[in-house]
Chain A
Amino acid sequence: MKENDCQDVFARLSELLDRELPAGSCEELERHIENCEPCVQFVETLKKSIAMHRGYQPDAIPPQLSAEVKQALRQAYERVLEARGPGK
């Protein structure tokens, strides 16, 4: 196993985790990772980081839509439905 394989894993790890690599490339990278402790740790910490950042929420709470805005949206929706006609 070449040391350069670590760099290959590093470069294509997200595609591997997202299952966006061709099957052959996937198996090749997974074989390397199984036998490479730094790569295992990198994969696991990257997965952890992704999972933690996925829960991103802004520190500002979105204000409720005002009744006027909600009404304007509803009217726009109804206009689209009317233009489309019944049963379409």
Chain B
Amino acid sequence: MNVVDPKAQPAQTDLELARELLGGSMDAFERFVSAYHDKIFRYSYAMCGQREDAEEIAQETLMKVFENLGQLREPERLKPWVFRIAKNACLMKRRKSVFAPRSEISLDQLMPAKSGERNGARLEIADWSGLPDHLAMNTELHDRLRKSVHELPEIYRSVFLLRDVEGLSTEEAADVLDVTPEAIKQRLHRGRLILRKALDDYLRAGKRSEGKSS
């Protein structure tokens, strides 16, 4: 039933890297800078939407990390600590989005449509779960997935990026974003439902146009 998280295994590597970095290894410094520069850029770009801003945030974050590294005692705290610095840098950089929702989106708005009579109504769900993985590499679909992430309301986007893309735990994401673990769970679920719905709409539209052309 559970989703296999491909980042669950690398979490151990993150911890080892953090230990080596705090232990004073120059080799760990090189690996950390290389890996986290890309991670912070990815997060910042998705949050700000500007390449130049994301690059500045990545550099500023790394500089703050090394300037303040002496304050960090627990290696397991490194990853959320870095993302907390990156999040604050993003907040300083970005303008307030006019698309930001004023309140949480209700689950009812994301519930699949029902078909049939009132008493026998059932959820109408297209089954595209067998979609081959290699199709995700299809450029158009890939662009669509990326666009959906960029269009996620900000409060859901930040949680989705930290939890599903960067592999932080619920507690770590709560720490980064200064909210409760319950709020993280709720926002992650809504974000995932919005992304699923966007993908569902896209795949259904594709099927309809295939049907028309044949």
Total number of residue pairs linking A and B with CB closer than 8 Å = 147
Contact A52 B199 (CB under 8 A): yes
B133 to chain A: closest CB distance in Å?
8
Query: What chain B residues lie within 8 Å of A41 (beta carbons)?
Result: 125-127, 129
Contact A20 B170 (CB under 8 A): yes
Query: What chain B residues lie within 8 Å of A63 (beta carbons)?
Result: 55
6 contacts between A and B (CB under 8 A): A45-B196, A50-B196, A51-B4, A54-B6, A58-B41, A65-B59
- A44-B129, A56-B46, A77-B29 known; 8 new pairs, CB 8 Å cut-off, are A15-B185, A18-B170, A19-B2, A41-B125, A45-B129, A47-B3, A65-B59, A73-B62
Query: What chain B residues lie within 8 Å of A45 (beta carbons)?
Result: 125-129, 196, 200
Query: What chain B residues lie within 8 Å of A60 (beta carbons)?
Result: 45, 51, 54
Interface bracket on A = 35 or more
Contact of B24 among A30, A74, A81 (CB under 8 A): A81
Please name the residue on chain A nearest to B193 by beta carbon.
A46
Q: If A51-B3, A72-B63 touch, does A38 touch B42 (CB 8 Å cutoff)? A: no
Contact B196 A49 (CB under 8 A): yes
Task: Report the Cα distance A39→B123, complex, angstroms.
Answer: 8
Check B99 for interface membership: any CB of A closer than 8 A.
Answer: no
